[in-house]
Structure 1
Amino acid sequence: MTTLAPSGSSGGPGAPGAAGDRTRAIRLRPRSVAAIVIVSLAGVVAFGWPLLVDPGTAFAHSTDAPLVFSLLMPLLLAVVMAEVSEGGLDVKAIAMLGVLSAVGAALRPLGAGTAGLETVFFLLVLGGRVFGAGFGFVLGATTLFASALITGGVGPWLPFQMLGAAWVGLGGGLLPQVRGRAEIVLLAAYGAVSGLLYGLALNLMFWPFAAGLDTELSFVAGAPVLENLHRFGIFSLATSLGWDLGRALTNVVLISLTGGVVLRTLRRAARKAAFEAPVEFSEAQRPAG
């Protein structure tokens, strides 16, 4: 009598997820990549519409645009999630995604709202680094969604936060491969830059509502792009630079202090899960009795 047993390695130096190797817990097909590109382009428009639209259009003269985009972004993110999951979101990837999303959601309240400290983004960077760009994108979105449910932070700003965090995780998975201390330096630098850019993107989302009318900080509907860009720069420097620097510094400190340990732990989990190991079946003879 014969039985079918899975064969293949789930560990070892050459196994997927070994230190320095790029693991893809979520395999991105061409359609999944296209969906991420399309939703990212839509996100650029959603964040930057005050600077991108033609001043002569009716759209430029309305501050309803962020509200419209806040309704469209969840639908676009849902399409991306559906495409990504169809491309290869297996039980092991779902389990890892659930664990890291829960950890991130629990970490976020520890720092959010205190001098710009954000204790969740370093985990998105490291998770994307170890498990790949597709995993990082989904992790960013699900972590911010879960944390919003915990903290009561659900509102029209949430889809923008989810997409911004998804970009942070995606970028972590696209960084070039380096080894040793250079990897920590690279990730810390990326954490600083992504923390600043995340803050600028979220500023664009609420800027038209935040500064009132007829001030040097205000968004002027229909004004030339350079004028609004100048106003936005002054607004960001005056209102949020300290918070954005706090987020960037938090990322640098947490990645520098914990990056080595967290990377080793996540890579060990990746080796055991063997996300990329092909499942093969071979005949196993039952011992003679």
Structure 2
Amino acid sequence: MSRPAPGTGRAVRGDRAVRAVRLGPRSVAALVLTSATGVAAFAWPLLADRASGLAHSRDAPWLFAALLPLLLAVAVATVSETGLDAKAVAMLGVLAAAGAALRPLGAGTAGLEPMFFLMVLSGRVLGPGFGFVLGAVSMFAGALLTGGVGPWMPFQMLTMGWVAMGAGLLPAPATLRGGRERVLLAGYGAVSALLYGLIMNLQGWPYIAGLGSGLSFVPGDPLPENLARYGAYVLATSLGWDVPRALLTVVLTLTLGGTVLRALRRATRRAAFEAAPVFAEPAAGAGERTGGGTSAPPGSGGSSAG
């Protein structure tokens, strides 16, 4: 049965896409600023000259100080503009806890990380804004749980936020269902799992010494030459972790994706994130006490007692 969407007057299905967080101008601006800062933090060593001092221990504290407040600014801007209510906060807490709990299951085992599967599906159902915050918070909680707190953590938070946000930006969230949606999400999950490793390698590769002339970063060398070395570094060190992560994400999405998607959509419908409060009219014929008297129903011929 169709019903009008709030504020649009258009009839949509009862299982339409629901967004726990609606991105407005300030939220979008915060996301763009955070992402631009993250891109600069990942890529600036590739543009550094030979005279620059590349020391990760010197650089990381500043990135901590810059990235974490910007990540928090996304949530603050969303709260102030769209109203992240208690139900959305509760949903965020539950999913972030689940993601953090999944992270240790694959830690140290050939790159198998089942939390990617949950982040992709959650971003798909709950939208890009919620997905970005969920990805960042889940990675932060997982780092605390596994003892993985270090200079790499803000990079992991940002990159996982991108992964979940991208799932929320995939097409046809309200109409694509069933096997076709699972195939779409499996394909996106595989690509995002590979890109996660590719991007995260940039965080540490420029600061690793002793890799050999064909793998090491050389400050000041032309960008194509450094990129060629980076490609060789990824093939030699990272691909064995990235491919299993992508394969596991595909398998979990195709086998468990339907059940998880239905559970997430059922939870969002029951939470009714977008439902506007409706105040019932007083029942016809019901007496109403005002002050010290009682008003008679219209047409009854009675009068209010003083």
Please say which of residues 66-75 and 230-239 is displaced more in the overlay: 66-75
Q: Which whole-Å deviations, capped at 9, do the CAs of 1:49-73 have from their partners, x for residues lacking one?
A: 223x2537x5x54234455323321
CA-atom RMSD, angstroms? 2.4
Q: 2:269 corresponds to which residue?
A: 271
> Residue 111 in 1 paired to residue 106 in 2?
yes
Q: 1:146 corresponds to which residue?
A: 141
Is the helix fraction higher in 1 or 2?
Answer: 1
Q: 1:74 corresponds to which residue?
A: 68
Q: Which whole-Å deviations, capped at 9, do the CAs of 1:79-124 have from their partners, x for residues lacking one?
A: 2221122222111100000000011111111112101100101111
| Structure 2 CA distance for partners of 1:195 and 1:282, relative to 1, 3 Å | same
1:129 maps to amino acid: R
Alignment of 1:89-128 (within 5 A): 89-128=84-123
Match of residue 174, structure 1, among 152, 169, 181? 169
In 1, the alpha carbon distance for the partners of 2:131 and 2:180 equals: 21
CA contact (8 A) 2:137 2:157 kept: yes
Please say which of residues 127-136 and 84-93 is displaced more in the overlay: 84-93
Q: 2:187 corresponds to which residue?
A: 189
In 2, the alpha carbon distance for the partners of 1:16 and 1:67 equals: 49
In 1, the alpha carbon distance for the partners of 2:164 and 2:247 equals: 17
1:24 maps to amino acid: R
Q: Which whole-Å deviations, capped at 9, do the CAs of 1:233-258 have from their partners, x for residues lacking one?
A: 00000000010111111110111111
CA contact (8 A) 2:132 2:165 kept: yes
Alignment of 1:1-289 (within 5 A): 18-19=14-15, 21-51=16-46, 53=47, 55=49, 60-63=52-55, 64-87=58-81, 88-177=83-172, 178-212=176-210, 214-285=212-283
CA contact (8 A) 1:16 1:275 kept: no
Shift of 1:41: 1.1
| Structure 2 CA distance for partners of 1:153 and 1:284, relative to 1, 3 Å | farther
| Structure 2 CA distance for partners of 1:284 and 1:270, relative to 1, 3 Å | farther
In 2, the alpha carbon distance for the partners of 1:227 and 1:66 equals: 25
In 2, the alpha carbon distance for the partners of 1:153 and 1:17 equals: 44
TM-score, normalised relative to structure 1 = 0.88
Question: Unmatched 5+ residue regions in structure 2?
Answer: 288-306
1:275 maps to amino acid: F
Please say which of residues 139-148 and 77-86 is displaced more in the overlay: 77-86
In 1, the alpha carbon distance for the partners of 2:14 and 2:105 equals: 32
Larger radius of gyration: 2
Q: What is the number of residues matched between the two proteins?
A: 275
Shift of 1:77: 1.1
Shift of 1:132: 0.7
Q: Which whole-Å deviations, capped at 9, do the CAs of 1:169-215 have from their partners, x for residues lacking one?
A: 10010000123211000000000000000001110000012343653
Higher relative contact order (CA 8 A, sep 6+): 1
Shift of 1:221: 1.2
CA contact (8 A) 2:19 2:274 kept: yes
TM-score, normalised relative to structure 2 = 0.83
1:96 maps to amino acid: M
| Structure 2 CA distance for partners of 1:96 and 1:72, relative to 1, 3 Å | same
